[in-house]
Amino acid sequence: MNIRSQVSAVFHLDKCIGCHTCSIACKNIWTGRKGTEYMWWNNVETKPGVGYPCLWEDQKKYRGGWKERNGKPELIMHNRASALANIFFNPFLPRLDDYYEPWTYRYGDLFGAAEGDDQPVARPVSAITGKEMEIEAGPNWDDDLSGSPIYAANDPNFASLNEEERKQFFALESMVFFYLPRICNHCINPGCLAACPAGAIYKRGEDGIVLVSQEKCRAWRMCITGCPYKKTYYNWSAGKSEKCIFCYPRQETGQAPACFHSCVGRIRYLGVLLYDADRIESAAGSPAGSIARKQLELILDPFDGEVIKEAKAQGIPDAVIEYAQKSPVYKFVKAWNIALPLHPEFRTLPMLFYVPSLLPVMAHAKGNLHEVGHDFFGSPDNARIPIRYFAALLSEGNEEAIRAIYRKLVAVRVYRRARTVGNIPEARVNKALDEAGTNPDEIEAIYRLTSLPSVEDRFVIPPFMREAAIEEVTDPLNKRESEGAGFTRKPKRGW
């Protein structure tokens, strides 16, 4: 057992209202610089939709992530030989148009235009070239199903759905969509890291945050292809790749990442998990269909005496173990089993988990009347979104995994409705609990953490112990005695 700790997250999709506040918070802090105009380290997509960049989930096009060979993961994009052959030309890069060309408006024209018969208009101009442009796409262009015939209809997750099920998404009365907020997953087995020829990408040992060293990056841009989630971006001005840094400077000072902190729907939960690094390869290389299960098996029980003993022996600080026990992510993912990683079939073992959304109940036409939820929430298979769609998104097509989560989410609603409204018979409540395999205590806990959590409940940020991490590579006293406290880097002229 090789125990590591990782700061990870859960996004509760039922709570996301698609307001993009998280994206704006991130943009304001991190990607307002030249060369980063088109980047959205955090973005919110409408599903069904093609997302950002366009069709990022289609690895036949983008070649991101891993495939399995002899029980081991292997990058899809290249092996050693083809990496060398394509070193000066990565043939699988998205174009700017596949992200979108960022733009602004010439607002000055509204005030400075010469007097005339017509109202002045602020023309859109490219934020990169400054030239006038026609806006044809944006990072959330298919928001709320806009442009459906082009964008939503081409959602790669429709592959497993039949024609009728696809139509159901767009038919009046049954029309449905939901939001999928995305940040870097800070994967256990990152494709970007493995693809980097310069060794510039690393996963921090103490908290699992995946970072691109701006000093080592040599702009080969292999990480952009290697990441199946397209969450590394190339800064055309700096000539370096950049990605979500999980707001580590905020976390190190005890604050939640900006996108978490600003989330209006309070859908985001953050906490530390312990996992076994010895089993990464076998999990990432496990046969299709079992990857998500194997990944969840990697995550260790922080209450298990054996795990605690081993973690302490391997130098995991006591405080981190304590925070792992309080982690809301552990509860959602392991204790309650209602959160799953996004597209586990990419085999990067992403450490960001999603609770699938239940979505509004369907209305059934009965003569002239529409009856809403005649069997409260009905069976999971009557859900607005076909089970198979979420299965394609979160469980490699394993519909039973989604059904199990739905049953539990329905049980929470049925139980709580019986408690607060009281119009559901006891037998129906007990049936829901039995089907979900849960009990009132667990239901209450899920309810409290879903609906009534405080900031401290949602963000259980472990102490980052940077001082301890730094001491592993440098002795601060050493520096004090020889160089003083003021400099960390040698000046060019010498000391």
Partner 1 sequence: MIMRTVHLLFLIFSIAIQEAGILPADGAVGPGEKIFAQKCSACHTIGGGPRVGPDLKGVTERRERSWLVSFISDPDAMFSRSDPIAVTLSREFGNARMPNLGLSPEQVNAVVDYLAAQTRAVVSPQGPEKTSEGGNSHTGERLFRGLLIPKNRGPACMSCHNVSGAAALGGGTLGPDLTRTYIKFGEAGTSALLASLPFPVMRPIYQDHPLTSEEQADLKSFFREMAKRRPVDKTPEVAAITGVGFIVFLILIAVIWRNRLRAVREALVKKEGPEGSGRP
The residue from 80, 81, 119, 149 that contacts partner 1 (CB under 8 A) is 149
- Backbone phi, psi, residue 352, to 5°: -120, 125
The residue from 84, 97, 372, 374 that contacts partner 1 (CB under 8 A) is 97
Closer to partner 1 by CB, 137 or 308: give it.
137
Q: Is 40 in the site for partner 1 (CB under 8 A)?
A: no
Q: Is 168 in the site for partner 1 (CB under 8 A)?
A: no
The residue from 32, 71, 91, 249 that contacts partner 1 (CB under 8 A) is 91
Contact 274, 325 (CB under 8 A): no
Q: Is 136 in the site for partner 1 (CB under 8 A)?
A: yes
Q: Is 234 in the site for partner 1 (CB under 8 A)?
A: no
Q: Is 132 in the site for partner 1 (CB under 8 A)?
A: no
Q: Per DSSP, which regions of 356-462 are E strands?
A: 363-366, 369-372
CA distance 200 to 178: 36
Cβ-proximal residues to 193 (8 Å cutoff; 6+ apart), any chain: 201, 202, 203, 210, 223, 226
Closer to partner 1 by CB, 5 or 59: give it.
59
The residue from 14, 35, 67, 146 that contacts partner 1 (CB under 8 A) is 146
Closer to partner 1 by CB, 86 or 282: give it.
86
Closer to partner 1 by CB, 233 or 332: give it.
233
Closer to partner 1 by CB, 43 or 438: give it.
43
Closer to partner 1 by CB, 156 or 341: give it.
156
Q: Is 93 in the site for partner 1 (CB under 8 A)?
A: yes
Question: What is the x/- site pattern for partner 1, positions 47-76, by CB under 8 A?
Answer: ---x--xxx-----xxx-------------
Contact 357, 291 (CB under 8 A): no
- Backbone phi, psi, residue 450, to 5°: -85, -45
The residue from 3, 22, 25, 153 that contacts partner 1 (CB under 8 A) is 153
Alpha carbon separation from 327 to 38, 256, 270, 357 (Å, rounded): 34, 14, 7, 22
Q: Is 106 in the site for partner 1 (CB under 8 A)?
A: no
Closer to partner 1 by CB, 91 or 108: give it.
91
Closer to partner 1 by CB, 222 or 443: give it.
222
Closer to partner 1 by CB, 78 or 266: give it.
78
Cβ-proximal residues to 215 (8 Å cutoff; 6+ apart), any chain: 200
Query: Which pair of structure tokens corresponds to residue 243?
Result: 């990605």
* Shortest reach from residue 142's CB to partner 1, in Å: 8
* Shortest reach from residue 154's CB to partner 1, in Å: 6
Element (H, E) at 8: strand 3-12
Cβ-proximal residues to 125 (8 Å cutoff; 6+ apart), any chain: 103, 104, 105, 106, 131, 132, 133
Which of 423, 353, 431, 422 lies closest to 393, judged by CA?
353
- Backbone phi, psi, residue 242, to 5°: -135, 160
* Shortest reach from residue 97's CB to partner 1, in Å: 6
* Shortest reach from residue 143's CB to partner 1, in Å: 9
Contact 160, 385 (CB under 8 A): no
Query: Which pair of structure tokens corresponds to residue 427?
Result: 């037998």
Q: Is 98 in the site for partner 1 (CB under 8 A)?
A: yes
The residue from 5, 140, 148, 295 that contacts partner 1 (CB under 8 A) is 148
- What are the helix (H) ranges across 4-124? 21-30, 59-62, 80-85, 96-99, 108-112
CA distance 285 to 188: 13
Q: Which residues here bind partner 1, judged by CB under 8 A?
A: 50, 53-55, 61-63, 89, 91-95, 97-98, 136-137, 141-142, 146-151, 153-154
